[in-house]
């Protein structure tokens, strides 16, 4: 029983740390890459807990940010990219803040 409790506590701590890195990524993208690597690495720790969906969310946000961010950068040549990057920023912020508050409450992301 103690092992399961420790695992849930560790999953919660990692989830909160990773969301913190994602919010830090609003200023520079590097923390998001680091957080995504950690999310893949620690994903098994959260399996079967309420935090499993948070790890899925973190990984999804990373890949969508990478693809849409690169597309937005290319599209800045025709000016529409700035709107794409702005909407991406708001989407990442929303998913990160929502996930953080749900994790703090001990609820799954979905």
Q: What is the mean pLDDT of the chain?
A: 93
Q: Is the pTM of this model over 0.85?
A: yes
pLDDT at 4: 66
- Give the lowest-confidence range in 26-30, 38-42, 55-59, 60-64: 26-30
For residues 52 and 69, what is the distance between their CA atoms, to the nearest angstrom?
25
Residue 6: half-sphere exposure toward Cβ, Cα within 13 Å: 3
For residues 47 and 55, what is the distance between their CA atoms, to the nearest angstrom?
9
pLDDT classification of 2: cutoffs 50, 70, 90 = low
34 has a pLDDT exceeding 70: yes
pLDDT at 27: 81
- Give the residue carrying structure tokens 């899925």: 56
pLDDT classification of 3: cutoffs 50, 70, 90 = low
- The CA dihedral of 39, 44, 47, 52, to the nearest 10 degrees, is 0
């Amino acid at each position: 029983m103690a092992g399961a409790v420790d695992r849930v506590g560790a999953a919660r701590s990692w989830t909160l740390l990773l969301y913190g890195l994602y919010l830090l990524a609003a200023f520079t993208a590097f923390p998001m890459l680091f957080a995504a690597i950690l999310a893949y690495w620690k994903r098994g720790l959260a399996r079967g807990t309420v935090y499993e969906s948070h790890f899925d969310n973190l990984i999804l946000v990373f890949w969508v940010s990478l693809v849409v961010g690169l597309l937005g950068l290319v599209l800045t040549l025709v000016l529409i990219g700035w709107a794409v990057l702005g909407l991406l920023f708001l989407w990442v912020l929303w998913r990160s803040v929502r996930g953080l508050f749900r994790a703090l409450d001990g609820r799954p992301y979905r």
